[in-house]
Chain A
Amino acid sequence: MPNEQCLLELRAVSKTFNGVPVLADVDLRVGDGEVITILGPSGSGKSTILRIIGGFTAPSRGRVILGGDDITEVPINQRPFNTVFQDYALFPHMTVAENVGYGLRVRGAARADMAQTVARSLRMVQLDGYGQRYPAQLSGGQRQRVALARAIICQPRLILLDEPLGALDVELRKQMQGFLKDIQREIKTTFLMVTHDQEEAIAMADRICVVSAGKVLQIGRPRDLYYRPGTEFVARFFGENNLLKGLLGAAGNHYRHVEAGWGPIRCAVDGQPEIAGAASGLAAYGAVRPEEVSLHPADARLDAELNRMEGRIEAVSFSGALTSVRVVHTGGACVLQVRLQSRAEGVPIQVGQSVVASWRAEACRVVLA
């Protein structure tokens, strides 16, 4: 968000349902015009965040601020937000056009203006000519687009999307991700989207807010979350990751070591002052992505700056563009997942072969256990 102006802010928002805490001190700033994704497993409280912003649920503590004004007590129908509901919540007794135009009808728009605006919105979501159909006559993807058209027609400041693609199959979901992104670029409205699908979050979001057990664990750009996870949960949540266990070594200039039983792991700490300043001796992981590791013959001469682990190939599995390799440390102390580009002639390694795995310190981060 750094460059944009702050549109919406949650300040220390907490929520308890019947004495059970669901959200604890959530702080969140949403920039004007950005796509922000709230990502978390089911039951993490991510939908509650969205419902509090939309006004459907009142927070137990904390404030919701819109452009400097406290809107915590403002009722749903007076917030300049619109929601795309999880199962679309289209009115089954209204046509597509009536559904889309509902927000205008509520505001007492003139019939002719309404028809025009509805037609324009339907064109935008590529549902030209579907106006007279009923929701039951549409496919899942089409209903999704009707719900989107209905939400954008009143030009809200913020569009809340609750698992908008959750009900669609994989193929359609990919397609709709691109579609949503295009629409967002066109209307430049802020999107706040809740999802449990990390791939979707990475594909859609300018920034991701990772929520687990009612707490915000980390907020950042997808790249940052992927390569600089702040917690073990985040490190494990996005794709495959090698978490190599050890103890945090002495502080260095730009690097810190995680002392694993089999050797030191050098990790970059730039941009992570809390890691750079952490006490040595803490339990920690050196986290490195499988695609950052390269494999060399056992007798290869390597740059001394590189992290290295000697081991034996235990498994090789081809999965299309990439080939996954499992390397076990010579002493058996550590297992490393490696992902290599597949080649037509095959990856030049075999199960049982002795190799040296290496990776750059810049691609390796400390994660406190």
Chain B
Amino acid sequence: MQGGSGLSGRREGADGRRWRALQQALIVATVYGLPVIFVLVPLLTFLVYSFFWVEGGAMHYSLSLQNYLRFFAGEAFFRVFWQTILLCLGVAAMATLVAYPVAYFLTGIKGRMKSTLVMLILVPLLMSYIIKIYALRSILGANGLLNQLLMGLGLIDTPSSFFVFNLNAVMLTQLALLIPFAVLPILLSLERIPRNLLEASTDLGAGGGQTFLWVILPMSLPGVVAAATFVFVLAIGDFLTPQMVGGQAGFTFGRIVYSQFGIAFNWPFGAALSVILMGVIVIAIVVGARYGSSRRGTA
């Protein structure tokens, strides 16, 4: 048996080595090649496109900075851009605030009950985005659940339009859609806190509140930052939600980009706006990574 394999090994020596090298090359090419073709090349195409320009409905394939100048000079674009950033920061902050207690509650539960609850949070992620937006729109609308509830409680007399076709609607909808993305990182970071650190804190005389404030909260901050980053990035790239619940008043940067491609047919300008949006996202991720990873490492 041993001799046999040795013989065949020797016979196939050179061929085998060549075959293995080929395999290696194929794997490397796949691992690096697919992202290059499907991510990097389109992004670079976009970047190049953003320096082209359109005039009188005709594309000009010469490089120019005029798209970027138009963005920074035109006050309207910049205002929407800034407003959208604030909106998404707000969504990220609120989603994190809501998600933290949920995640904290989940860490305290064990066994089947916990997996069921986590599943319940995950299920909406598997559902179609558009269906969820429609569902939320019907809740927020003039005759929606929210208005009915507020009227039933006697807080308002007539249906309020506060919750639909404006930025409030965009914010509430995005909040509802993105909370699951905030719960998971926080849940993970809470669960990663070793139990014996909590025991050590109690052992040293700390009460529940002190242990939370001085041990649990600071140790779960990486998860909080990751959650906020996730939600911010997903919210700022979203043009569908504002399109469907934002109405005239709920204009966001994502919709401007969309309109450059879909309505104005000014692809180079749309590409330039996308590059700017991309810049914001990259900054958000870099900032998130810096503050999300503990500087001290883990013992």
Contact = CB atoms under 8 A, between A and B. Distances in A.
Interface of A: 54, 56, 75-78, 81-83, 85-93, 102-103, 105-107, 134-137, 143, 150, 154
Contacts of B11: none
A85 B207 CA distance: 19
Most B CB contacts (10 A, CB to CB) among A76, A77, A87, A90 go to: A77
A93 B294 contact: yes
Interface stretch (B107-115, B196-204, B244-252): B196-204
A92 B200 contact: no
B33 interface: no
A77 B202 contact: yes
B205 A106 contact: yes
Interface of B: 194, 196-197, 199-207, 210, 214-215, 218-219, 294, 296-299
Given A77-B206, A85-B199, A92 B215 contact: no
Nearest to B219: A93
Contacts of A89: 194, 196-197, 199-200
A103 B204 contact: yes
A57 to B, nearest CB: 10
13 contacts: A75-B202, A78-B205, A82-B204, A83-B200, A83-B203, A85-B200, A88-B299, A89-B194, A93-B219, A103-B204, A106-B206, A135-B296, A154-B204
B71 to A, nearest CB: 41
B210 A106 contact: yes
B205 A77 contact: yes
Contacts of B298: 92, 136
B297 A134 contact: yes
B205 to A, nearest CB: 5
B147 to A, nearest CB: 46
A92 B199 contact: no
B197 to A, nearest CB: 5
Contact of B196 (A77, A85, A136): A85
Contact of B219 (A82, A92, A135, A150): A92
Shortest 5 CB-CB distances between A and B: which pairs?
Answer: A135-B299, A89-B200, A103-B204, A136-B297, A134-B296
B232 to A, nearest CB: 24
B203 A76 contact: yes
B299 A136 contact: yes
A151 to B, nearest CB: 8
Given A77-B203, A93-B219, A103-B204, 15 more contacts: A75-B202, A76-B202, A77-B202, A77-B206, A81-B203, A88-B299, A90-B200, A91-B197, A102-B201, A102-B204, A106-B201, A106-B206, A107-B205, A136-B296, A150-B204
A101 to B, nearest CB: 10
A83 B207 CA distance: 16
Contacts of A137: 296
Contacts of A92: 219, 294, 296-299
A357 to B, nearest CB: 50
Given A134-B296, A136-B299, A91 B215 contact: yes
B211 to A, nearest CB: 9
Most A CB contacts (10 A, CB to CB) among B197, B202, B219 go to: B202
Contacts of A135: 296, 299
Given A56-B199, A85-B199, A85-B200, A93 B296 contact: yes
B190 to A, nearest CB: 14
A82 B205 CA distance: 9
Contacts of B296: 92-93, 134-137
A107 B201 CA distance: 12
Contacts of A105: 214
A137 B294 CA distance: 14
A56 B210 CA distance: 18
Contacts of B207: 77, 106
B292 to A, nearest CB: 13
B193 to A, nearest CB: 10
A128 B215 CA distance: 25
Contacts of A83: 199-200, 203
Given A89-B197, A89-B200, A154 B299 contact: no
Contacts of B205: 77-78, 103, 106-107, 154
A339 to B, nearest CB: 42
B203 A82 contact: yes
Nearest to B207: A77
Contacts of B204: 77, 82, 102-103, 106, 150, 154
Contact of B200 (A78, A91, A107, A136): A91
A332 B78 CA distance: 100
A107 B298 CA distance: 26
Contacts of B201: 91, 102, 106
Nearest to B198: A89
A98 to B, nearest CB: 9
A81 to B, nearest CB: 8
A365 B285 CA distance: 73
B219 to A, nearest CB: 6
